Amino acid sequence: MNPQVAVLDIGSGKIRVLVGSRGFNDTICLSSETERSCASYYNGHWILNPSELYKEIHKAIVEAERNAGVKIRQLVVGVPADFTITKSLSSALSFSKKRKVTDDDLTDLHKQGSVFKDYPDYTVINSQPIYYKLDDDRPLIQPKGLYSQKVSGLISYILVKNRFVEVMDDIMARLSIEPSYLSSALAEVWFLFDERARDRFVVMIDTGLSTTNIVIAQGDGILEQFNIPFGGGDITAYILNFFRELRSAVKSRNEGISEADLPVPEIDFSQAEALKGKVNLKLNHREDDIYTLTASDLPSGTLDIKAQYVNEPVRQAIGELGDRIKRALAERNHDISNYPKHISYHITGGGVTSIEGAKNLLSTRLDRPIEIAHPKLAQYNKPCLSSSLGLLDLALSLQPAQEVRKKGLFGRFFKRIGEE
């Protein structure tokens, strides 16, 4: 049996532990998929204190161990994009004469640019080539074994907040687990997009509960990544606020009306979340179309709500998300206009992809084709699993897992996965 690897994926609205191994034809065989729903961080800051975070992670790990029938001693921890920054820098080496480029040369090239004195609170965890160049100045991904008198490249460095590692190291020590760290965004890009797509250009938009992470990737690295503090939970909040404002407006027009007689019902966050799951923006709903909400805490067990009361705030929220993405892309240092108009942006994660018609609305707002990116696995093809399965796929490719930390990813990540 192939060795199993455990990974921890920390999202803004969930904590997920996967245990799996390699199957036939390099597939992934999952032994356990455990998820804890909790708002863990927001905009690069923990919501849960270390004690609460420990409890949630501990529960997820215990359940994963029980389901997989293993004891987790080593764990690959995915670092959320909110706790990382990316810097793409040029680096170059010259030789005394033309000779064969070696792995050691590429290691030296990467290390030369990996000093970030202006970021004392961060540590480099990944470095990937956007491209290399030799004497002929032609971009390429793998120069090892080729002859040249110089080697240069555009190198992508991903830096993690030291505080994130400190918190996780402490939690793992309490659990008697040895952690290693990978960028969740990098793992996700490598998992969802093949080499040909990445060599052209990739814009990936991953929307979670409270954060949308945008990744601009090329070659084997990330050119830029940035976060927008807006996600699926904000769309739900738009629904709640719409209902509150509508109820307030009805009250002001009808003085003395009782709460029970208001034509607009009062709903809570969980009910608004359930209503969001019924939205279909592809349809032109009539004024009398309804969504039926079923919940055990409702007096009659069900509640009929006009579809327009839900669709309208969802449209507004998705429009707001689209506008924020467009502004953020326009402010980037990288010239996004070089990205061909006919090539799609890709959206993934669980924050927006489950809403029917959201993709089309975002496409209109961004003036760009939008495609939903999801794992290409029959039983696990949900966009919400993209980052978790990406981490597991990369961790399995880097076995034995303990090498990830020992080598700091230098010397392993300079090659495409699978190359020797």
Q: What CATH architecture does domain 5-82+162-193+378-406 belong to?
A: 2-Layer Sandwich (3.30)
Structural contact between residues 131 and 150, judged by C-beta atoms closer than 8 angstroms? no
Domain ranges of the chain: 5-82+162-193+378-406, 84-161, 194-372
pTM: 0.89
For 199, the enclosing helix (H) or strand (E) is helix 195-200
Structural contact between residues 18 and 389, judged by C-beta atoms closer than 8 angstroms? yes
Give the chain's radius of gyration (CA, Å): 24
Do the domains at 5-82+162-193+378-406 and 194-372 have one common CATH topology?
yes
Per-residue pLDDT tens, the chain, 420 aa: give them. Answer: 578 999 999 999 999 999 999 988 778 999 999 999 998 999 889 999 999 999 999 999 999 999 999 999 999 999 999 999 999 999 999 999 999 999 999 999 998 877 788 899 999 988 899 999 999 999 988 899 999 999 999 999 999 999 999 999 999 999 999 999 999 999 999 999 999 899 888 999 999 999 999 999 999 999 999 999 999 999 999 999 998 888 887 777 776 666 555 667 788 899 999 999 999 998 887 878 888 888 766 666 788 888 988 999 999 999 999 999 999 988 875 556 566 677 799 999 999 999 999 999 999 999 899 999 999 988 899 999 999 999 999 999 887 543 433 333 433 333 333 333
Q: How far is CA 409 from CA 55, 112, 356, 402, in A?
A: 29, 15, 40, 11
Crossing angle of helices 232-253 and 269-276, rounded to 10°: 110
The span from the first CA to the last CA of the chain, in angstroms, equals 23
Q: Which residues of 137-169 are buried (b: 16+ CB within 10 A; e: fewer)?
A: eeeebebeeeebeebbbbbbbbbbbeebbebbe
Structural contact between residues 328 and 320, judged by C-beta atoms closer than 8 angstroms? no
Tell me the CATH class for 84-161. Answer: alpha beta
According to CATH, what is the number of the domain 194-372? 3.30.420.40
CA dihedral 212, 218, 224, 226 (to 10 degrees): 0
